[in-house]
Amino acid sequence: MIFVTGPLFAGKRDYIRQALGLSPEAFARQAVWDVQLLAARAPDLTALAEELAAREIVIATEVGGGVVPVDPAERAAREAAGRLACLLAERADTVIRVCCGLPQALKGKLPC
Say yes or no to pLDDT of 49 above 90: yes
Report the pLDDT value the prediction gives residue 65, as an integer from 0 to 100: 85
pTM score, whole prediction: 0.94
Closest CA to 92 of 81, 72, 77, 107: 107
Contact between 93 and 58 under an 8 Å Cβ cutoff? The reply is no
Domain borders along the chain are 2-60+70-107
pLDDT of 20 > 80? The answer is yes
The alpha carbon of 11 is separated from its chain's Cα centroid by a whole number of angstroms, namely 12
Q: Examine the pLDDT at 46 and tell me if it is beyond 90.
A: yes
pLDDT at 1 over 80: yes
Architecture of the domain whose range is 2-60+70-107 = 3-Layer(aba) Sandwich (3.40)
- pLDDT given at position 54: 97
| pLDDT (tens digit per residue) in 76-100 | 999 999 999 999 999 999 999 999 9
